[in-house]
Each structure stands twice: as structure tokens, then as C-alpha cells.
């Protein structure tokens, strides 16, 4: 059950064509019609974020070994 007029946020990831993306969905219940508006926003490309983190770990490991 929705609380009328109060936006509800949900975070989730989708995988499309080998790329995982973090999405923010905001659902806005409309009082009179009972319909729900939805807004989807891509927050971050999770695949590239994981690649960046791996790269930082490799750099740290290389600097420790030196």
C-alpha cells in the first residue's frame, strides 16, 4: 500500500549488454487518479566503478611491493 503523495525510492542494478548499472527509481503515487508516476535515474555504471576499484587495488599492491 502506498502513502498518497509520498515518493518512494528504490535502488537496484540492471545488467544490459555486459554492463551493470545502478539505478534509482522514484515512484510518486497520485492522489486523485490512483496512478503511479515513475522516474528512473542512472546513478552509476557499476561495471566501470568495479574496474576503477580494481585498478586502485593493483596500484596500491604495486607501490607496496616497490
| Alpha-carbon separation of residue 6 from 28, 31, 35, 47, 64 (angstroms) | 6, 10, 13, 32, 50
With a cut of 60, say whether residue 3 has pLDDT above it: no
pLDDT in the model for residue 64: 80
Under 8 Å between Cβ of 44 and 21: yes
**pLDDT tens profile 33-65:** 767 777 777 777 788 888 888 888 888 888 887
Domain extent listing, the chain: 8-65
Position 1 scores a pLDDT of 43
Order across the sheet with 36-45: list the strands. 8-16, 19-29, 36-45
Tens digit of each residue's pLDDT (9 = 90 or more) over 6-20: 667 788 888 888 888
Amino acid at each position: 500500500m502506498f502513502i498518497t503523495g509520498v515518493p518512494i525510492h528504490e535502488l537496484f542494478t540492471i545488467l544490459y549488454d555486459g554492463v551493470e548499472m545502478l539505478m534509482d527509481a522514484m515512484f510518486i503515487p497520485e492522489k486523485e487518479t490512483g496512478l503511479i508516476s515513475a522516474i528512473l535515474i542512472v546513478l552509476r555504471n557499476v561495471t566501470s566503478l568495479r574496474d576503477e576499484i580494481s585498478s586502485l587495488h593493483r596500484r596500491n599492491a604495486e607501490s607496496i611491493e616497490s
